[in-house]
Chains A and B, each alone.
Chain A
Amino acid sequence: MSAQGEEVLIRPGGSRAGYWRDLWAYRELFAILAWRDVTVRYKQTVLGVLWTVLKPFLTMVVFTVIFGRLAGLPSHGVAYPVLVFAALLPWQFFAGAINECGVSLISNANLLTKVYFPRLIIPASSVAASLADFLVCCGIMAGLMVFYQVNPGWRLFWLPLYLGIACFASLGGGLLFAALSIRYRDFKHIVPFVVQFGLFVSPVGFSSTVVPEKWRLVYALNPMVAVIDGFRWSLAGNQPAVPLYALVLSLASTALLFLSGVWYFRRTERAFADEI
């Protein structure tokens, strides 16, 4: 679909000029696909919401026991469950979004081969759908904060910045995975592994102050480090602020990930319908 009176030009390697305009024209499809994913997820399983709640909650319990009790890692005067859950919040979102995004093209194959629309809509809407789970988990976080009497104060208003970084980072990585999984079908096994691995190189179970000083710069290249530290700082109180260099590095690596994701996706997009 394009607006009335417009001309669509179809030619080899062409018809790309209107892509971003089309993306805007299809914004309603983006919203409705995200809505579909959320509705179906919570309709299909009775345990829908419960599952969304249980997974991070149990992970939190395990991490608290292993890192807080057994390893005795520092928590800067905050209850360890709060420390862990403030990190799990963005991490679960990031991991969920990147997984969903990575398989989104394959699971919507019927749309790819039957209708035209800018393909970016599909992975983007799957990231948006993951925000629903994030909101549910925010409820648990609020509960924990009340229980442990944590008052974040004005820092709470910085949260959207870090959530934004997480969105762009997961979309960037997800776009790469989505495009690659069209060409290479074994990617759907690789993605969960990579994400699982990411859990251990991100400061989810422990504070990033555990990492030796001289490695912090390298560590900050992981875009999720600043996001997680930012969430902790905004929510848990008493936590060290995200150093400026870490925020800048995180923004830079996120931008790089996002742009390369979009670039590769756009480059391979035209062959999706032929290859899927």
Chain B
Amino acid sequence: MNAMVHAEGLGKKYYLRHQKKDAYATLRDSIVEGMGRVCRLGRGGRETRDEFWALRDVSFQLQPGDRLGIIGRNGAGKSTLLKILSRITEPSEGVARIRGRVSSLLEVGTGFHPELTGRENIYLNGAILGMKRLEIKKKFDEIVAFADVERFLDTPVKRYSSGMYVRLAFSVAAHLEPDVLIVDEVLAVGDAQFQKKCLGKLEQASREEGRAVLLVSHNMAAIEALCSTALYLRNGGTKAHGPAREVIERYLGDMAVSAASEVSKRSDRSGKGMVRLTGIRPVGAAVGGSCSVGDDLRLALSVENRYGHPVSARMCLSLRSSNDIGLIVCDSYLTGETHTLAANSVTTLSCTVFAPPLNYGEYFVNVTILKDDQVEDYLPSALRFSVESGTFDNHVRQQAAFPILARFSWKVEGDEAADAP
């Protein structure tokens, strides 16, 4: 078999501990708990441990030069899959065989130290990513030129602008020469032009040198441009696997469908579930509704509280583009408020977004309800709504390519005679 990567039935199981209040165990807790367990012996009391499969039964193969895009909602298991293939965490079941050298890029600038200079960080980061010192030395000038930071090589990176930082970090990574490259969402950072440069570099490496690339991204355009095939994960399982375009269409279609079905019957939610979203709709518009560019967006939400006492809830809405990029977040945490939900009842709330700068098009709303910093209910794509074309400030024409609109003005500030040719 000639596959570079051969994954078969990969799965990862986590245990959710319900008794724990803190995320971290302490020795003190363990001792107290252990004593408690001894005392409860014979009475059948035990800790409840729920299994949770973050990933289950995922199989695929990559040949030299293959580029596989992995898509799916947050929590679908994409990162878990990458972590297993990068050997950061072990699978609970299944086998993967990888031929050759593997480099994984799960974060830009892993291990960068702010106190060290750009030069020092290149060596540090290179070593962390698995490059030999000689290899880095050989490519040093290339790395610096690609990142365009020659002048700041001996400045500590804490003084770098975020753009420079990202460019330097990505440049080191782009000069790795692995047989299999694993990339997680790192293209989401950096300016568009640099992103394009990086995508080009990735594609070139794969095409000319036969590297296999695995890429996770929420940026469907990037996946479509770079990847030949795609793998769509949902709730830890494989939902679709095939040509990139088809899989992406399927994914975007699913997002639209789940938004259309009735909220209270949806099962693709997470959280403790004692407080649940039971309905969401735009106000002042038809069901499945819409508003126009420049209008206030008003959403009515019904929330059921199953606790026998009133709950002060933190409400969070995020407005997302049709390719699942977060655009606007309306989190009551930001305004420092909580909202009281009466005991054992359904409360109606509304959220108004004042003249959101959204262009016409399709948008999705994710809803999260928290109580005491714990997620009670998280429902992705709880609502799909469309913004119809309308007037925005001084714009006289419309263009669909960009989801966010802003006021702007162009002005000629003066002119100077050009030298005669």
Do A and B truly interact? yes
> Contact residues of A with B, CB < 8 Å?
1-15, 26, 28-29, 32-33, 36, 39-40, 43-44, 110-117, 180, 183-187, 190, 270, 273-274
Contacts of A40 in B (CB 8 A): 113, 115-116
Query: With A29-B127, A116-B104 as given contacts, are A185 and B111 in contact (CB-CB < 8 Å)?
Result: no
Minimum CB–CB distance for A8 against chain B, Å: 4
Q: Mark B72-106, 1 if CB is under 8 A from A, else 0.
A: 00000000000111111111111111111111101
CB within 8 Å for A39 and B120 given contacts A113-B88, A184-B25: yes
B354 within 8 A of A: no
Asked if A12 and B91 make an inter-chain contact with CB atoms under 8 angstroms apart, the answer reads yes
**Contact among A8, A44, A110, A186 with B87 in the assembled complex (CB-CB below 8 Å):** A8
What 1/0 flags go to B99-130 for Cβ under 8 Å of A?
Answer: 11111101100110101100010011001111
Nearest-CB residue, chain B, relative to A29: B127
Whether the Cβ atoms of B26 and A186 lie closer than 8 Å is yes
Whose C-beta in chain B lies nearest to the C-beta of A187?
A: B27
Q: Are B93 and A12 in contact (CB under 8 A)?
A: yes
Query: Do B127 and A1 have beta carbons less than 8 Å apart?
Result: no
Contacting residues, chain B, for A274 (C-beta < 8 A): 14, 89
8 tightest A-B contacts by CB?
A: A1-B130, A184-B27, A116-B87, A10-B96, A186-B26, A185-B24, A32-B127, A8-B98
User: Shortest beta-carbon distance, B51 to chain A, in Å?
Assistant: 14
- Is B193 an interface residue when CB atoms closer than 8 A count as contact? no
User: B132 at the A/B interface (Cβ < 8 Å)?
Assistant: yes
Residues of chain B within 8 A (CB-CB) of A7 are 97-99
Q: B326 interface residue, CB < 8 Å from A?
A: no
B104 to A: closest C-beta gap in Å: 7
Residues of A with C-beta under 8 A to B26: 184-186
Q: Mark B25-39, 1 if CB is under 8 A from A, else 0.
A: 111101000000000
CA distance A190 to B87 in the complex (A): 31
- In the complex, the answer to whether A273 meets B110 with C-beta atoms within 8 Å is no
Known: A1-B130, A185-B26, A270-B90. A44 touches B115 (CB 8 A): yes
Interface membership of B49, Cβ < 8 A: no
In the complex, chain A residues whose CB is within 8 Å of the CB of B91: 10-12
Residue of A nearest to B83 (CB): A273
Chain A positions within 8 Å of B24 at CB level = 185
- Given A10-B96, A40-B115, A15 and B90 contact (CB-CB distance below 8 Å): yes
Minimum distance in angstroms from B83 CB to a CB of chain A: 7
A sample of 28 inter-chain contacts (CB < 8 A) reads: A1-B101, A1-B129, A2-B101, A2-B102, A4-B179, A5-B100, A7-B99, A8-B102, A10-B97, A12-B92, A14-B90, A29-B127, A32-B123, A33-B127, A110-B111, A111-B111, A111-B128, A113-B106, A114-B104, A115-B106, A115-B128, A115-B129, A116-B87, A116-B104, A184-B26, A184-B27, A190-B27, A273-B89
Q: Contact at A114–B107, with CB atoms within 8 Å?
A: yes
- Interface residues on chain B, number (Cβ under 8 Å): 47
- CB atoms of B102 and A185 under 8 A apart: no
Residue B178 at the chain A interface, CB threshold 8 Å: yes
Contacts of B111 in A (CB 8 A): 110-111, 115
- In the assembly, what is the distance between CA of A185 and CA of B25, in Å? 6
Q: In whole angstroms, what is the CA distance A26 to B130 when docked?
A: 8
A10-B95 contact in complex given A110-B111, A111-B110, A116-B86, C-beta closer than 8 Å: yes
Looking at A111, A113, A114, the one whose CB has the most chain B CB atoms below 10 A away is A114
- Note all chain A residues with C-beta closer than 8 A to B239: none
Residues of A within 8 A of B101 (CB): 1-4
Besides A111-B111, A116-B104, 15 more A-B contacts (Cβ < 8 Å) are A1-B103, A3-B101, A5-B99, A6-B99, A12-B94, A13-B90, A36-B124, A43-B116, A112-B88, A114-B107, A115-B86, A184-B25, A186-B27, A270-B89, A273-B89
Q: In the complex, how many angstroms separate the beta carbon of A267 from the nearest chain B beta carbon?
A: 13
Q: Name the A residues within 8 Å of B98 (CB-CB).
A: 7-8, 10
Report Cα–Cα, A13/B104, bound state, in Å: 21
Whether the Cβ atoms of A8 and B97 lie closer than 8 Å is yes
Residue B133 is within 8 A (CB to CB) of chain A in the complex: yes
Inter-chain contacts of A114 with B (CB < 8 A) = 88, 104, 106-107, 110
Measured CA separation A13–B91 after assembly (Å):
8
**A10 in contact with B87 (CB, 8 Å):** yes
Contact A115 B133 (CB under 8 A): no
CB closest residue in chain B, given A25? B130
> Hey, which chain B residues are within 8 Å of A183, CB to CB?
25
Q: Which of A6, A39, A44 contacts B100 (CB 8 A)?
A: A6
Cα A87 to Cα B120 with chains together (Å)? 36
Query: Distance in Å from the Cβ of B14 to the closest Cβ of chain A?
Result: 7
List A contacts of B107 (CB < 8 A).
110, 114
User: Given A9-B95, A13-B90, A274-B89, does the pair A36, B132 have CB atoms closer than 8 Å?
Assistant: no
